[in-house]
Structures are given as C-alpha cells and as structure tokens.
Amino acid sequence: MPVKKIKFPKIILAPLSDVSDLPFRMLNRSFGCKFAYCQMVSTRALINNKPKTEELLRGHFRDHPLGVQLLADDPEVLKKTLFILRSYKYETVDLNAGCPTPKVAKKGQGAGLLKDVERLKVLMDILVRFGDRPATIKIRTGWAEDNLVAVKIAKLAEEAGLSAVFIHGRTRQQGYGGEVDYKTIKEVKETINIPVIASGDIFSGRLAKKMFDETGCDGIMVARGSLGNPWIFKEIEYFLKKGKILQGPSVGELKKVMKKHLAMCCKFYGEKIGVLKFRKHFSWYAREIRYSRSVRNMGFSAKSVKELHQIINILK
C-alpha cells in the first residue's frame, strides 16, 4: 500500500491534553503556528458517543492543517474510530504511544504501548489500512533508560506505512523532567526514511536550533514552550533565520493577548466554563510578570470576565 504523504512544516504545535482546544490553537495560529493538533481523543470514549469527546474534535474551517491524536489499545475499537473520523475535517491522524499518565499507561495505552510492541504493530497496521488520511505515531525513547525501543518502533512504523514518526526525547520513566536524549532521536532519524519530528524542551529559538543541529530532525514540536507564550513561533523562526533572539512582548501586549485569549475561550465555551478554562492560562501568561502571590490567587479564583479583566489590568 503506498504511503500517504503529508508535508509537515518545520514547527508544529503539539497535542496538549486539556490545553490545545480550539481557542488555544486559533490563538497560536494567529501568531504564526502553521500546523496544530487537537487534544488527544480516547478511541473508547469516541465510539461510546461521549459528548465531551466530540467537543475535543470541534474545529473551525480556518483551523487547518489540523492533526487528530488517538489514544488506543484495542484494534476493533480503533477500526470503528477511524470509520467515525471519516466525516471529520482534519489532515492527519496520530497514535499516542507516549502518554506517561499511570491510568493511561497501565491500561496498555499511550506509553504502555512501548512495552507491547506486538499490539503496537497491529494498531499501526490498522491505522494505515482502515484510515483514510496519513497516519503517524508519537513515541518516547522508551519505557525506561535500560529499555530504549525508539529505533525499533520507528523501523516498524516505517514498515507499516506510516507517514512520519514524532518522538519525545525522554523515557516514560522520566515523565517531563530530566535531560532530553538527543542521541536517540538522531539514531531514529538516521535509521528511517520517513520524516522524524522531534519534541522535548523546545522553550526558545536557541533550544529549537539545538534540536535541529543535534538530531538532524525534519521538524520540531512546540509543547510547554507555547503555554502562555504564542510568541514562541515567531521567536523560533527568527532565531533559525537570523541566529538572534527576538524581543519578547511588552507587558501591555501580553495583557492584550490575555484578554483576547479569554474572549476566545468565552466565545467557545460560554462565560462560566470559558473563565474556568482560561484560569490556568492566566498563570502561564503571568509567570513572566512581577506579581504577588495574592494576585495569582485572585486569578485562580476569578469567576467572571469582569473579575479577570480587573486582575489583568493590575499586572505590571
């Protein structure tokens, strides 16, 4: 079966569960993000018609190119999911083989798949044979340092006909801490001929360049670096082109963007839920600003747009 091709840009917004909703994606797109992922979707929840799961896939005609990411462990459930997804508008589908959360990994999903290569092979085969769009996989370097399986899985992904491999340069055991393993990402890149997109500590233009330089990867994924920081896309592009650091936003601009993001959340979810959803973004935006603990707590407990505007206004 010929590989379904997809051209990824060099910089991609990662799937971020509980974060990369439509307002977040659209905001980042308005700052130069050229490819974004929805929040991860559970295949079991989707086939069981859970309304909250459908909401994760709600898009916009401008929200493209868009990737969907699936959490799967059961081949039949995955087949049904791919059938349901035929009516959705998105460009590519990814299988999550990296989520470290115990309740996910223990069920054999996410990073749990790194320990069950036979199941992973079956799932990748289904993605290619029953999916109607290019399929990819997002892995970690391995379950633990003494069991690095990334190269082996990347080869299997290529053999299965997947269109790219995403790799977070940490083991499941590392979670989100510890050093990024650039060496293993490089080995993966040197082993397979499909695109390799690297993830891990892409917090600045300089770290983005380090990832390209040390691994030879085809692209990078921005994850935590985008939290409260949609400017990162321009910063990375600028650094890659000019080798210089782009000046960050002024406090005034930051406050303007916070209000814009809040308005987008409220438009999408309604004010009550929109305010709740925005509160975590508030702390990410505000982390670079001088502000007292009491202001931060006020942000966390705000219940209306009016209250949040008052708090944003006092940041300096």
Q: Which of 185, 202, 232, 286 binds ligand FMN (CB under 6 A)?
A: 202
- 266 catalytic residue (yes or no): no
Shortest approach of ligand FMN to residue 304 CB, angstroms?
25
200 binds ligand FMN (CB under 6 A): yes
Shortest approach of ligand FMN to residue 207 CB, angstroms?
8
Segment near ligand FMN (CB under 6 A), from 120-128, 211-219, 222-230, 299-307?
222-230
135 binds ligand FMN (CB under 6 A): no
Shortest approach of ligand FMN to residue 21 CB, angstroms?
12
CB closer to ligand FMN out of 287 and 303: 287
17 binds ligand FMN (CB under 6 A): yes
Write the interaction track for ligand FMN spanning residues 79-98; mark x where CB under 6 A is met and - where it is not: -----------------x-x
Shortest approach of ligand FMN to residue 169 CB, angstroms?
8
Q: Which of 138, 255, 261, 281 binds ligand FMN (CB under 6 A)?
A: 138
279 binds ligand FMN (CB under 6 A): no
Judge whether 171 and 186 are in contact, CB under 8 Å: no
CB closer to ligand FMN out of 17 and 53: 17
**Cα(312)–Cα(316) distance, integer angstroms:** 9
Q: How far is CA 83 from CA 8, 51, 59, 129, 216, in A?
A: 24, 17, 18, 11, 36
Tokens representing 162?
Answer: 């997947």
> DSSP secondary structure string, 201-250?
---SHHHHHHHHHHH--SEEEE-GGGTT-TTHHHHHHHHHHHSSPPP---
Write the interaction track for ligand FMN spanning residues 34-53; mark x where CB under 6 A is met and - where it is not: -----xx-------------
Q: Could you tell me how many residues of this chain bind ligand FMN (CB under 6 A)?
A: 22
> Which stretches of the chain bind ligand FMN, using CB under 6 A?
14-17, 19, 39-40, 69, 96, 98-99, 138, 168, 176, 199-202, 221, 223-225
Q: Which residues are catalytic?
A: 99
